[in-house]
Amino acid sequence: MTRKTALITGASAGIGAATARLLAANGYDIAIAYNSDRAGAEAVARDVKASGGKAMILQANVGTPADIDRMFTEFDAAFPRLDALVNNAGIVAEKSRLQDMTAERLTQMFAVNITGAFLVAAAAVRRMSTANGGAGGVIVNMSSAAARLAAPGQYVDYAASKGAIDVMTKGLAEEVATDGIRVNAIRPGIIETKIHAKGGEPDRVARMTAMVPMKRSGTATEVAEAVLWLLSDASSYVTGSFLDVSGGR
């Protein structure tokens, strides 16, 4: 069986790392893109190789357009084609009311979560599109339940950035529907990852669990399973859609 190739941004920890490991176990070679956690990326690469896949580590801050260009240049040198993009990289800032948010905070948030995600998706389309001589492919964007819930009093800016990802997902899906590319998004809810601590709320998962109808948090692997399905032929007629992995919230 010919292994497919997936590029996963933000793949050194959390949902990205779980997705890399699961895809590798299901026949994918993986390009592991990360910003600062080299040790995490190397650990993921070891697990990908242990599953029989090829692993390449790519350092890139997706908030910097030149880094995105370099990442894809390095990808092209290592892999013959791009079959799947998991557009997962994103940041969250510390809990804040909107009235206290600064221009610097918003600029950084939107540079990574919106502009970076748009540019990564664009680069993937240029490689996948049958209109450009590509073989087609699948893009899964990582949105958030916050795009629906708005995260008032916590991080409306993060929620707004994920709302932009939802709009991009729908628009891009229609643009490339006849070019052999499917584009969907996943909206995770309360998931056990380190992103909550990065936002200054290491206890957020425990605090929010009571608000989830299933009365528990989700795992990164549960999100990864949803990614795997959206990348598979089992979802061949699904594009421009949103899959909530949120325990009913």
- Supply the residues annotated as catalytic: 158
Measure the CA angle with vertex 131, ends 70 and 125; round to 5°.
Answer: 35
Q: List, as own/partner pairs, every contact residues 106-115 make where C-beta atoms lie below 8 angstroms and the sequence separation is at least 24, other chains included.
A: 106/157, 108/63, 109/157, 109/158, 109/161, 110/157, 110/161, 110/164, 111/63, 112/61, 112/62, 112/63, 113/158, 113/161, 113/162, 113/164, 113/165, 114/161, 114/164, 114/165, 115/63, 115/65
d(CA 89, CA 134): 24
d(CA 235, CA 237): 6
